[in-house]
Structure 1
């Protein structure tokens, strides 16, 4: 029996499902990841590994484990934090046939548990001398500012990482960039029964957003830029014309698009808006900008994946990851990140988040085989 087949035979679907459900039952929003890290650390220590805690801040830390005798050539990377729960009574798991629902099931506890199972199978099936030079990294803070991955990158690196974000098992060697844009319109307060005496900042903001949305830069039929208004709120004083309105927009950019170029273009659009919209006073800020990347598919990892998917009887889809992830941080640090995991972005961050267990199991096999490669 080949080494790979020995490892695949050691992957335990029952253990994988139990661990997955237990992970989903641990509430771990960004900033409150310690409980889930303690759970994962216990499993790894029980399996005989020395687990390194990388402190990010008090009571927040990454978990890093390695095997083999040399420096890791590849890390499996998963983030353990989730967005906050829509309903604290219903964040945990539930099963409907082969679908598993729950906060973080797709983003990305499904990827994390598949990586953990692959790691356990490698350690159980192989003698220490047979084990590849690979690493396993569970990071905190991805859903906020990526501080867990930044902590890792401050002292470690690797040629390649595989990040288990939800891609439906597509292999993403390209990654969209991301730009967070904030706008504030300013008005003049007046009693709500006399709006003519004031200047309504909400009305100004609506005009600004329409002006932006009508520009060819954000025309969904003409551009690959993904444009989504995330927040819109104003002052909450009763019975007055609001004098301030704030909006935040998420912009996901194709891999070859420079965020700084887009920042300049948005500035030009806002200048045009000020000439066209009477009494407009608007300020803007870009809270976060990250360039995308494209690694291409003529490389050793892509070749390995082609063989693995053939052997598993799965179609290999190559795609660009459309959301933001820590992959951008790894690439900026000189690491080659591949985004590949179970689940789909469509349900991530929603109350209907879900993943097919069959995808989680397949991901465990793919990760294990990549480590052997």
Structure 2
């Protein structure tokens, strides 16, 4: 088959919805996106392997060349949900507006794949000494099930991996972890005129939040990394629900919170510290307290500043490697033995926002950068 133009590839990917979301009414299959990428990469000579992760959800691993080592260019094939009424244009149609392309996923991060294909097209005919792998995953924006499945399979990929998440073409070698947790308290309802008739879940939760805030203060004293814009770990009390009427002792209360640990902080130790505070409160208030993650945590990520990939990316971009607060699939690729870096053309400030865009001026520098990375690791 003849490959579509770069712009037509962008348009086709954006017109193929692949929302992943914890809310079932939003969640969609990514298989049509995977099939598009497989057809284009197959036309360039890649051997394309589709890995089914869950019904309607799949990863693509496309390989050009063979042997150990090589380079992995990676990204996710899904997008977040969108508010169509807040967009100035159709979010599922590529729209050119001045010096930008607009569309859902153009920045975060379907648009990375056409740029990879463009980089490879410019190197056709040159024999590879080491393999080039293109990885497209599912469900990064929700459960990270695609990257987790790869890590669980334990199959080595390449010597180095670059994830094209939006970083403004600045190399990122550190990011915080993500823990989203839930605490449920079951007390005993009763008439509010007599406190002895019940055990207030709301009052118990008040003390739970006090302990969480105290732990947050402790962790912020103990852990700090000046490379991050927010140098300490954060804990956000996100939402709370409980009770039903002013004249009833609150019988049930739930809290959901978000914890962003720094590299070097162990999520299991953090959970153990929280659990140690909860049991005495349960006994004091005579309530039941259940604590569990909303989903598996994303580990903090750190690639050594002295690694070959970091030195190369700093040399090619002219920027020192930085740290970001948002999470990526980097820890899972690192678990497979890849030196890993996050480096892509978009801007994180417009990701997950109406009117998501990619600056046209970023296209050619990204293609050239990808070709230089391929030349270094594969040619």
The TM-score bracket by the shorter chain reads 0.7 to 0.9
Whether contact under 8 Å (2:307, 2:339) holds in the other structure is no
Aligned to 1:148: 146
Alignment of 1:216-365 (within 5 A): 216-217=217-218, 224-234=232-242, 243-270=251-278, 281-286=288-293, 287-309=295-317, 315-351=318-354, 353-365=356-368
Q: 1:135 matched to which residue of 2? A: 133
Q: Which residue is equivalent to 2:113?
A: 112
TM-score after normalising by structure 2: 0.77
Matches of 1:253 and 1:279 in 2, distance apart? 31
Q: CA deviation at 1:26?
A: 1.8
What is the Cα deviation at residue 318 of structure 1? 1.0
The answer for unaligned runs of 5 or more in structure 1 is 1-11, 310-314
Out of 50, 53, 70, the position equivalent to 1:53 is: 50
SS at match of 1:106: coil
Q: Where do 1:21-32 residues align within 5 Å?
A: 21-30=11-20, 31-32=28-29
- Structure 1 residue 199, shift from structure 2 partner: 5.7
Higher deviation after alignment, 73-82 or 199-208: 199-208
User: What's the counterpart of residue 9 of structure 2?
Assistant: 19
CA shift for structure 1 position 308: 1.9
Instruction: Determine if contact 2:38/2:62 at 8 Å carries over to the other structure.
Output: no
Q: Match of 2:227?
A: none
Deviation, structure 1 residue 43: 2.0
Question: How many angstroms apart in 2 are the aligned matches of 1:288 and 1:195?
Answer: 42
Answer yes or no: is the 8 Å Cα contact 2:100–2:359 preserved in 1: yes
The alpha carbon displacement at 1:75 in A equals: 0.6
Task: Quote the Cα distance in structure 2 between the aligned partners of 1:229 and 1:293.
Answer: 23
1:22-60 deviations in whole A, cap 9, x for unaligned? 322221023510121122222223334332222223443
Q: Is the 8 A contact 1:74 1:161 kept in 2?
A: yes
Could you tell me whether the CA contact under 8 Å between 1:132 and 1:371 is conserved in 2? no
When residues 363 and 285 of structure 1 are mapped into structure 2, their CA distance, relative to the original with a 3 A threshold, is same
Partner of 1:367: 370
What is the rounded CA distance, in whole Å, between the counterparts of 1:238 and 1:83 in structure 2? 38
Q: Distance in 1 between matches of 2:194 and 2:96?
A: 53
Indicate the residue corresponding to 2:186 in structure 1: 186
Describe the SS at the equivalent of 1:338: strand
Residues 16 and 361, structure 1, Cα contact 8 Å, conserved in 2:
no
Shift of 1:280: 6.0
Is 1:230–1:250's contact at 8 Å kept on the other side of the alignment?
yes
Tell me which residue corresponds to 1:6: none
Contact 1:321–1:339, Cα closer than 8 Å, also in 2: no
Q: Secondary structure at the match of 2:297?
A: strand
Q: Evaluate the alpha carbon distance shift between residue 278 and residue 243 of structure 1 in structure 2; reply closer, same or farther with a 3 A threshold.
A: closer
Alignment partner, residue 170 of structure 1: 170
Cα separation, 1, equivalents of 2:133 and 2:10: 21
**Counterpart-to-counterpart distance in 1, 2:354 and 2:299:** 30
Q: Distance in 2 between matches of 1:140 and 1:75?
A: 16
Deviates more, 1:25-34 or 1:219-228: 219-228
Decide whether aligned partners of structure 1 residues 222 and 261 sit closer, same or farther in structure 2, where only a CA change above 3 A counts: closer
2:208 corresponds in structure 1 to 208
Q: Deviations over 1:129-173 (max 9, x none)?
A: 257521111111222333323444423422221111222222122
Alpha-carbon distance in 2 for matches of 1:141, 1:23: 16
Specify the alignment match of 2:37 in structure 1. Answer: 40
Per the TM alignment, residue 118 of structure 1 is displaced from its structure 2 partner at its CA by: 2.1
Scaled by the length of structure 1, the TM-score of the pair is: 0.78
Q: How many angstroms apart in 2 are the aligned matches of 1:269 and 1:351?
A: 41
Any idea what the Cα deviations from partners look like across 1:278-327, whole Å, max 9, x if unmatched? 66653211342344343222232223223322xxxxx4131124222221
